[in-house]
Amino acid sequence: MKLTATFRIALRALKRNKMRSILTMLGIIIGVAAVIAMVGVGNGAKAEVEAQIATLGKNMILVFSGSMTSSGVRGGYGAAGTMKIEDAEAILRETPGVTLVSPEIRTSAQVAAGNQNWYTSVLGESEDYFEMREWEFTEGSSFTDQDVRSANKVGVIGKTTAQMIFGEEDPVGQIIRVRNVPFRITGLLKSKGFSLGGNDQDDVFVVPYTTAMKRLTGATVLRGINVQAANDDVMTRVQDQISSLLRQRHNIRPGHDDDFTVRGQQDIAEMATAQSKTMTILLGAIASVSLIVGGIGIMNIMLVSVTERTREIGIRMAIGAHGWDILLQFLIEAVTLSSLGGLIGIAIGFATAESISHFVGWPIMVPPVYVIGSFLFSAAVGVFFGLYPAKKAAALDPIDALRYE
Amino acid sequence: MQPVISLEKIWKIYTTGDVEVTAVRDVSMTVQPGEFIAIMGASGSGKSTMMNTLGCLDRPTKGRYLLDGVDVSVLPRDELADIRNQKIGFIFQGFNLLSRTSALENVELPMMYGGRKIAPKEMRERAMRALELVGLAKRFDHTPNRLSGGQQQRVAIARALVNEPAMLLADEPTGNLDSRTSIEIMDAFQALNEKGITIAMVTHEPDIARYTKRNVVMRDGVIVSDIIVQDRFNAKEEMRKLDEEHQAAKLVK
């Protein structure tokens, strides 16, 4: 018997019991929809996180000073101030694969110009910081290495800070006071948007770290060091080398804890995606349970269908249908049910992901392989769970089947 | 001439638990091409078992069954299915048409299960020709529930004929029909038989058996009588008589 004819018979049988067919498909529909929605939102989230991580720059390694515990109160990273300018210089000098370093000082301060003032983060960095973070300028340029060496009172302003102080006016060349120390603005940074932590990265004023230490905080130690590796492949090696270099420089004996933390950009990305991974696993579990339950539902209905149509099977056998023809007929019916459910599930999955993306504010992304994969899987569910009822139908004795009332 | 059916010492023994029931015992019989035979008997006489055996739905326990020269008593399941498809046209008491499937598609069904691939167009043409033969061409798109019992049975006859089988096998074909429609069906059978088609029919009604050419009576699994019908009914003649009776009784104008 021709496959197309068999397919037509199957479709007709399903149409005859529309409600039943739809209810039977529901398990598969929910399962596949969950997979598609999960993948769509999950991948969108991943892409979003990756885009945010990318704002850090390329191949960045962050070295923080260790935390400090004093009278039982533990400060955050950088509080201990174990990192010195010499450490930064040593890293650049002694670690192959390191292209740029920028020692980092961080403080918060009231900044003012004219009759406006604003409370913002003040960063002390080297002149290479902007290149490392791939942070471009709208106006002007970075301070120079000369400015760093001489601890000149110059700085680069972030977009948000500039807007708060100067409005639409061009800030470059203007004087801004930080803790009453006047700074000349050499450049206006392009907007980078919010960081993973939800901080406005543009709400900032960046000065040479030397200036920050001498004129603003009086500190002699660093909060941390920004390091850029030459490429992705050397990241791990460079991180390890920095660790051992710093342990050696800080005289940390084996068995004792580091007084610093080295984090690669990928570590940060992994932490950020851990949450979406949990969600993916959860939804994946729901999807697989739903697909199995859906498959059992199909098997159940196919068994009912075989019983209901015993007489039809008998007629078909009496006029010459082979067991194989009957098997194929019911198998195709089951597969049609499940793959139709798969198709509807894909559609609903896309709709669900689309509406979720509307709420969370990032685009959905479903790789075609998941669409094809979930369709094929639902078809496979049909084969797997349809096989037993179909075999049962094919094994019927024509005489008994004809006699069946 | 080679017989269409040749039964040689056929036995059929059913085993239910420890009990053995012999439904057919040592039956031998031949049916020549062009015969029109009625197998008669009370229930339990073994005529249904005979029918299932003749129809290749069941294999005899012992003995040989040659259908159209082929020993079918030893064939496996699927080959029996092919024999049923190619050599036998089935007509059942309950018509056994597929419900919610048009008359035409019901008639096309045996061609779908044939080993040979037939183009849809040819299938349709052949099915239409078979329906014309039983006078139902105009109702080809009707589903069984829109056809009367007689019409349904004629669709079943068309279905049985469509693969041009060696013989028609009818199991109580008039069992579900009123007397008038029964005569119609017998008329169709007689017409087909005159064209040379061999027909074997199981019935328990002696009236119906008188439309055939030969009556075989079974009792307790053996053939107790096998006679040529002497005063055969002619379906057209009987129909005319019935009409007269009905007119006399003012049942019809």
Q: Which tens digits make up the pLDDT trace of A145-179?
A: 999 999 999 999 999 999 988 988 899 999 999 98
Averaged pLDDT, A10-33: 88
* Among the listed residues A41, A18, A24, A4, the one whose alpha carbon sits nearest the alpha carbon of residue A381: A24
Cross-chain Cβ contact A312/B98 below 8 Å: yes
Enclosing H/E stretch for A296: helix A265-308
Nearest residue in chain A measured CA to CA from B53:
A399
Query: Within its chain, how far is the Cα of A274 from the centroid?
Result: 8
User: Which residue's structure tokens are 């008639």?
Assistant: B107
Using CA of residue B146, residue B150, residue B154, residue B160, what is the dihedral sign?
A: positive
Q: A1 in contact with B at a CB cutoff of 8 Å?
A: yes
A217 found inside a domain: yes
Nearest residue in chain B measured CA to CA from A15: B100
Q: Least CA distance to A325: which residue of chain B?
A: B113
Same domain, A227 and A279: no
Q: Is A402 on the interface with B (CB under 8 A)?
A: yes
User: Of A233, A258, A283, which residue constitutes the final position of a domain?
Assistant: A258
A341 and A247 part of one domain: no
pLDDT at A80 over 80: no
Let me know whether A252 and A285 are in one domain.
Answer: no
Per-residue pLDDT reduced to its tens digit, B140-181: 999 999 999 889 999 999 999 998 888 999 998 988 888 888
Between A10-19, A38-47, A346-355, B200-209, the lowest mean confidence (pLDDT) is in A38-47
Please give the residue that has the higher pLDDT: either B137 or A275: B137
Q: What is the per-residue pLDDT for A72?
A: 58
| pLDDT for A78 beyond 70 | no
Asked whether the predicted pLDDT for residue A343 surpasses 60, the reply is yes
CA distance A332 to chain B (A): 16
- The answer as to whether A266 is a domain residue is no
Q: How far is B3 from chain A (nearest CA, A)?
A: 22
For testing the chain A interface, which of B84, B101, B155, B161 should be mutated: the one with the most A CBs within 10 Å?
A: B84
Q: What is the pLDDT of residue B116?
A: 77
pLDDT of residue B6: 93
Distance from CA of B38 to the nearest CA of A (A): 21
Do residues A379 and A342 touch, judged by C-beta distance below 8 A? Answer: yes
pLDDT (0 to 100) of residue A6:
80
Contact B96 A311 (CB under 8 A): yes
Domains of chain B as residue ranges with CATH: 5-248 (3.40.50.300)
Bridge partners (DSSP) listed for residue B27: B10
Cβ pair B84:A320 closer than 8 A: yes
Instruction: Tell whether A277 and A314 lie within a shared domain.
Output: yes
With beta carbons less than 8 A apart as the criterion, state whether B201 and B189 touch.
yes
Identify from A18, A315, A316 which residue to disrupt to test chain B contact, counting B C-beta atoms within 10 A and taking the largest count.
A315
The answer to whether residue A70 is domain-embedded is no
Please, which pLDDT band fits residue A75 given cuts at 50, 70 and 90? low
pLDDT of B40: 93
Q: Pick from A208, A231, A258: which residue ends a domain?
A: A258
Note whether residue A291 is domain-resident. Answer: yes
Q: Write down which residue in A200, A223, A258 finishes a domain.
A: A258
Are A154 and A123 contained in the same domain? yes
A69, pLDDT greater than 60: no
Cα distances (angstroms) measured from residue A231 to each of A54, A241, A246: 14, 15, 21
Domain count, chain A: 2
How many CB atoms within 10 Å of residue A325?
18
Q: Given A5, A323, A398, which is nearest B112 (Cβ)?
A: A5
Q: Assess whether A87 and A227 both reside in one domain.
A: yes
Which residue range is the domain that position A19 belongs to?
A: 3-52+272-403
Residues A139 and A42 in one domain: no
- Same domain? For A253 and A305 the reply is no
Strand A116-125, strand B214-219: pairing: unpaired
**Mean pLDDT throughout A245-253?**
87
Average pLDDT in chain B: 89
Q: What's the pLDDT score for residue A157?
A: 93
How many CB atoms neighbour CB A215 within 10 A?
18
Q: Chain A closest CA to B154's CA: distance in Å?
A: 16
**Domain shared by A141 and A206, yes or no:** yes
Higher pLDDT, B191 or A257: B191
Rounded average pLDDT over A268-287 = 74
- Among A277-286, A308-317, A338-347, B41-50, the range scoring the smallest mean pLDDT is A277-286
Q: Is residue A72 part of a domain?
A: no
What is d(CA B88, CA B81) in angstroms, rounded to the nearest whole number? 10
Nearest CA in chain B to A321: B113
CB proximity A3 to B under 8 Å: no
Chain B contacts of A399, Cβ < 8 Å? 52, 57-58
A322 touches chain B (CB under 8 A): yes
The predicted-structure confidence for B86-118, as pLDDT tens digits, reads as follows 999 989 888 889 888 899 999 999 998 887 778
Tokens of B185: 């069906």
Residue B250 pLDDT exceeds 80: no
What is the pLDDT at residue B66?
A: 93
pLDDT band at A330 (very low <50, low <70, confident <90, very high): very high
For residue A182, CA distances in Å to A187, A198, A215, A312 come to 15, 30, 10, 95
Residues 6+ apart with CB under 8 A from A285: none
A8 touches chain B (CB under 8 A): no
Do A101 and A18 share a domain, yes or no? no
Residue A365 pLDDT: 83
**Distance of alpha carbon A321 from its chain centroid, rounded?**
55
**Would residue A75 count as lying in a domain?**
no
Is A142 inside any structural domain? Answer: yes
Could you give the C-alpha distances from B214 to B32, B76, B107, B126, in angstroms and in order?
11, 31, 29, 31
In this structure, the answer to whether residues A180 and A310 fall within a common structural domain is: no
Name the pLDDT band for A67 (thresholds 50, 70, 90): low
Residue A8 lies in a domain: yes
Read off the amino acid at residue A166: F
Q: Do B57 and A398 touch (CB under 8 A)?
A: yes
**Res A68 pLDDT > 80:** no
Q: Report CB contact under 8 Å: B90, A319.
A: yes
Q: What is the mean pLDDT of residues A9-32?
A: 88
Determine the distance in angstroms separating the CA of A302 from the nearest CA of chain B, rounded to an integer.
19
Structural contact between residues B221 and B47, judged by C-beta atoms closer than 8 angstroms = no
Q: Which of residues 20-39 of A touch B (CB under 8 A)?
A: none
Say whether both A180 and A328 belong to one domain.
no
How many C-beta atoms surround the C-beta of residue A112 within 10 A?
16
